[in-house]
Amino acid sequence: MKNIVCLDGFTLNPGDNSWEDIEALGTFTTYDRSTGGEDEVIERAKQAHVLLTNKTPVTAAVIDACPNLEGIAVLATGYNVVDIAHARQKGIPVMNVPVYGTDTVAEMTFAHILNLARNVSVMSADVRGELGWTNNIDWCYWLSPQIELSGKTLGIIGFGNIGRRVGEIAAALRMNVVAHDRFVSTTPAYPHEMAELDEVIARADFLTLHCPALPDTISFLNADKLALMKPTGFLINTSRGQLVVEQDLADALNGGRIAGAALDTLQREPPEADNPLLTAKNCVITPHISWATRDARQRITAVVATNIRSLLAGRPENVVN
């Protein structure tokens, strides 16, 4: 029996997502978290034939300390937590879960867009507040402009599976869709327009990010790019926190140069207490939950089981290195 070790399984399975498909493939050990540093990771991983990780770094030192290691399965799409070059040098395939959350992330993107447009969470809290609805002389009131999405322009940066699905929802809501992607491989049937990056940023009433963190995308949304946005424009990021220069975004929000932002991801997670976005004006932040529906997590588990099964059969799938 092969030893299968999961270094940080809690977020994938906090108790509502069975491991049984993976347990059937070998002797399975899972840890909720491995936050004690590299020595702890090595101690837990050293007997593994298959190593599973979500956000725990699998460094060259960890790989070298695992003499039986045959494969590394990432419990996500992003695989930057693994030293894939070193794994490749040692002939160890690294496998990811390439498509599992298209609908889930797109729906969360629109949860944020709708909340920015109608201020649902703030209004709900105000209704229950000391000076809320019961003390208002009018039968209705609002604390911020109520924005209709129909006819507004949604700018999408990154037009892969998730970006295209976001555009499809936007088109159904009669929004104008304008997108930028240097590597468009599929053209959706719904009305949309492709444009250069700066044009998308400048035209968008709502600007949403759906691209990976690569050397040429990290920190691309800086003060200069934010200055192109409409002062009435909103930013949504359910992709990667590394895309945005956080201090520049906080400055733009606090200075009223853009109308608001909704973020599901930050550069560092959990964030430091002094992260400027935690106190920025008109900034809604959720704790990286766009991916986290039970449906999506079950799909991840199923694909990981398939990846391990294929590895043990000598035909590894979804190999990224």
Domains and CATH numbers, the chain: 3-100+294-312 (3.40.50.720), 102-285 (3.40.50.720)
> What is the mean pLDDT of the segment spanning 293-303?
97
Active-site hit among 33, 118, 257, 288: 288
| Helix orientation angle between 102-118 and 161-172, rounded to the nearest 10 degrees | 50
Neighbour-count burial of 171, counting CB atoms closer than 10 A to its CB (0-12 exposed, 13-18 middle, 19+ buried)? middle
Question: Residue 156: which pLDDT band, with cuts at 50, 70 and 90?
Answer: very high
* 7 pLDDT higher than 80: yes
Q: Strands of 181-297 (E only): list them.
A: 193-194, 206-209, 234-237, 260-263, 283-285
CA–CA gap between residue 113 and residue 93 (Å, rounded): 39
Mean residue pLDDT of the chain comes to 96
**Count helices and strands in the chain by DSSP H and E runs:** 11, 12
Per-residue pLDDT, 97: 97
Indicate if 269 belongs to the active site: yes
CA–CA gap between residue 149 and residue 180 (Å, rounded): 20
User: Is the separation of the CB atoms in 162 and 105 below 8 Å?
Assistant: yes
- Give 16-61 pLDDT, tens digit per residue: 999 999 999 999 999 999 999 999 999 999 999 999 999 999 999 9
Per-residue pLDDT, 160: 93
Active-site hit among 44, 240, 246, 297: 240
Per-residue pLDDT, 184: 79
Indicate if 288 belongs to the active site: yes
Active-site hit among 148, 193, 269, 272: 269
CA–chain centroid gap for 302, Å, is 20
